Structure 1
Amino acid sequence: MRTALTIAGSDSCGGAGIQADIKTMTAYGVYAMSAITALTAQNTTGVTGIMEVTEEFLGKQLDSIFTDIYPDAVKIGMVSSNSLIEIISEKLKYYNAKNIVVDPVMISTSGSTLLRDDAVETLKNCLFRQAVLLTPNIPEASVLSGIAINDEVDMIKAAKIISSEYGCAVLCKGGHSFNDANDLLYLNHSYTWFNGERINNNDTHGTGCTLSSAIASGLAKGLNLETSIRLAKEYISGALKANLNLGKGSGPLNHVWNIFKGDKQ
């Protein structure tokens, strides 16, 4: 069995973070491992508390994983402080980690800032250059490229700037009013569109976490980047269409729709 590691925060309601990542990796038939960067108290209506782990403890988690069950791919999600970003970068270099997918959790889909400016710079300098793929949403891609993104031409420009700066592939995620859930991959000086359908379902909590974990799972199984992205988008669409409908706010996806085919058991 292929293996994958998620380095991210914990979501107590199970819709995002490491819980979403582990469910996704399991649905893909990949053995999932986790290194937790923070505990969050949250549900579908919002976050009420965050408690970060220490740099030393995060380092011990990563040592325990890499010295025993070496991951075939790594997904990195929520990391909110400089010291934690630096220890992740140090350990990934030391263990020569491969197939690193970074979901730069900087700005929410609604436009709220989630990461301090100094931590953003550390994230860019330490982790982006180690990644095989970055998966920013449109607000994040705008910050990273330094340009406003108002249409699909701007998405191409932004992805090219980011890819050139950090030497990795960039998947600029659409779904923001002008774009009907179409994502843009910029890789090796060329771009590819991955078209998606806009699904009428407001329960989208954890879609970014899930997509990046699905892509990492595909890479862990030996698939190329384009195939991993295509299958990840199909998986997300199925999880949304399953319409799990839990919680009082923006609910979670049905991560096991492809196992139970949407049956409620």
Structure 2
Amino acid sequence: MHKLENKVAIVTGGSRGIGANICTSLAAAGAKVVVNYTSNHQAAAEVVAKIESDGGAAIAVQADVSQVEDVRKLFDAAEQQWGPVDILVNNAGIVHYKTIEETSDEEFDRVMQVNAYGVFYALREAATRLAEGGRVINISSSAVRMMLPTYGPYCATKGAVEQMTRSFAKEMGKRGITVNAVSPGPTETDLFMDNNDQDKIERMRSLSAFGRLGKSEDMGPVVLFLASDDGGWITGQVLPVNGGTA
């Protein structure tokens, strides 16, 4: 199936975990994919190699989404390689598990810069550079709804992403662009597994209706649906993809 044939996609944070699966899912459907990474060039190169070995097209582009000029560079790279961008997936993010009391100004600034400002910069760029009839998919988190201690600063960033999703959808509708968010629950990625102890991982697993953590491959098909023509009448929505966790 080539639902996205000749479409050009940018996936921020595309070198690992959920982002990597989104990249391969979009490429398998025919999209040409910019695999964004911040520092792990080897991981991004492996995603590109997998896509190319499966007959797809991809390039790896280093950019820190918390920097305005780097976000512009992502769009520049896509346009220079293939032409206007059709699909933007804002997936890049960092975690922060501390109480509000324990969180320093610098820590709060950093998680906001990557998770919230990074999405804001990309949306602002997309407002003028995304192709007519394009697609924006932001990655939020079901933690926003779960009232978890030590998640306050992180959830503040993802709450901001969800509100920007709703507003941007209204702003972009006149150009036929849909804007939605996908909200994963606890997912078995390096980012999650490396930043939580086993007791917490087991508690999170038990919250799912299926008694398991999510997997990266649970997310790619949902993003693919929203990026395709099939998702053309859905906009301004936050879709929980969490196995009944929240």
Greater share of residues in helix: 2
Q: TM-score, normalised by structure 2?
A: 0.47
Q: TM-score, normalised by structure 1?
A: 0.44
